[in-house]
């Protein structure tokens, strides 16, 4: 269980969509779109652990072999994140928008691009470089998020993974909307992106807070900044009856391994 919690934490946006990420991940595009409010979007979030002695080979494989095949097979956006200083080393998160679950009834993008034998060969190469793979379906939650203007993914995300007691999801969302979100807005955060796991794991929430540099973390908790220590303690205690676990890490966007839509690439 601990390993599963740690792996999904590294989303997103994403994972923006990923987060959804950005977990991401479709999120940067949503933040850039001003004509209409962003709608919830499904995301495929794949968490990969790379063998330490195969890291260079893995990066070369993704950039030169896997991504060209995925693009040929129709993938237009795929954002990649990696642990940045705090979290599990050699872990990468791949976030891809899902148009609908019906897409999984057909051939995979790899099979479309290079045929079954070619796809098998690429997956064999991937397996030689990696030790584990977990894939989740996540849904972005714009109604719980702050989605500011952005020309592309921030350099860093603080990822907060929240487990909620069974049957208390609605209580958590009410608490988040009515108590936490107004405080977060007062902190003037540019990106505070919430997604929810729907398949592949327990129904949990993942929050990505955008940061431009590690020095931003020296300011401490958003809630302490706005409410002071005593006020922050009271706010967090209010959520204690239905929040069972909270864990945090830091991830960075990896543009050289990502597939970036033209509209996003032009803004870089």
Q: Tell me the per-residue pLDDT of 96-114, one tens digit each, with 9 for 90 and over.
A: 999 999 999 999 999 999 9
In the chain, the domains with their CATH numbers are 2-263 (3.30.70.100)
Question: What pLDDT is recorded for position 147?
Answer: 85
DSSP notation for the chain: -HHHHHHHHT--BTBTBBTB------HHHHHH--SSPPPP-EEEEEEEEE-GGGHHHHHHHIIIIIHHHHHHTT---BEEEEE-SSS-TTEEEEEEEES-GGGGGS--HHHHHHHHHHHHHHHHHHHHHEEEEEEEEEEE-GGG-EE---SS--SEEEEEEEEE-TT-HHHHHHHIIIIIHHHHHHTT-SEEEEEEEEESS-S-EEEEEEESSGGGGGG--HHHHHHHHHHHHHHHHHTTTTEEEEEEEEEEE-GGGSB--HHHHHT-
Residue 53: count of CB within 10 angstroms of its CB: 9
Cα separation of 26 and 7, whole Å?
A: 20
| 30 pLDDT above the threshold of 60 | no
| 27 pLDDT above the threshold of 80 | no
Confidence of residue 211 (pLDDT cuts 50, 70, 90): confident
Q: Tell me the per-residue pLDDT of 254-263, one tens digit each, with 9 for 90 and over.
A: 999 999 877 5
DSSP notation for 87-151: S-TTEEEEEEEES-GGGGGS--HHHHHHHHHHHHHHHHHHHHHEEEEEEEEEEE-GGG-EE---S
Residue in this structure with the two tokens 């970036």, named with its chain if needed: 260
Question: What pLDDT is recorded for position 102?
Answer: 96
Between residues 196 and 25, the one the model is more confident about: 196
Predicted structure pTM score: 0.81
| 94 pLDDT above the threshold of 70 | yes
Residue in this structure with the two tokens 């479309």, named with its chain if needed: 112
Average of per-residue pLDDT across 200-216: 88
Q: Tell me the per-residue pLDDT of 146-194, one tens digit each, with 9 for 90 and over.
A: 987 766 667 888 999 899 999 999 999 999 999 999 999 998 888 899 9
Cα separation of 195 and 211, whole Å?
A: 18
Question: What pLDDT is recorded for position 155?
Answer: 80
């Amino acid at each position: 269980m601990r390993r599963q919690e740690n792996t999904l934490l590294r989303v997103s946006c994403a994972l923006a969509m990923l987060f959804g990420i950005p977990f991401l991940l479709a999120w940067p595009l949503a933040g850039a779109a001003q004509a209409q409010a962003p709608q919830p979007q499904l995301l495929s979030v794949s968490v990969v652990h790379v063998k330490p002695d195969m890291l260079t080979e893995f990066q070369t494989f993704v950039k030169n072999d896997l991504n060209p095949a995925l693009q040929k097979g129709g993938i237009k956006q795929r954002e990649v994140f990696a642990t940045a200083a705090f979290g599990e080393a050699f872990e990468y998160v791949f976030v891809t928008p899902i148009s609908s679950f019906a897409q999984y009834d057909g051939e995979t993008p790899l099979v479309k691009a290079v045929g079954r034998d070619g796809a098998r060969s690429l997956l064999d190469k991937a397996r030689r470089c990696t030790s584990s793979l977990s894939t989740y379906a996540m849904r972005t939650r714009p109604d719980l998020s702050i989605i500011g203007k952005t020309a592309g993914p921030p350099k860093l995300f603080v990822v907060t993974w929240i487990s909620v007691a069974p049957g208390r999801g609605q209580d958590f969302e009410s608490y988040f909307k009515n108590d936490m979100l107004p405080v977060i807005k007062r902190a003037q955060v540019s990106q505070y992106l919430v997604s929810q796991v729907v398949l592949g794991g327990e129904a949990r929430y993942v929050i990505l807070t955008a940061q431009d540099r590690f020095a931003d973390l020296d300011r401490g908790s958003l809630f302490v900044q706005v409410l002071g220590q005593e006020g922050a303690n009271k706010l967090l205690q209010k959520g204690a009856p239905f929040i069972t676990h909270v864990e945090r890490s830091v991830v960075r966007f990896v543009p050289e391994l990502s597939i970036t839509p033209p509209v996003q690439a032009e803004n870089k």
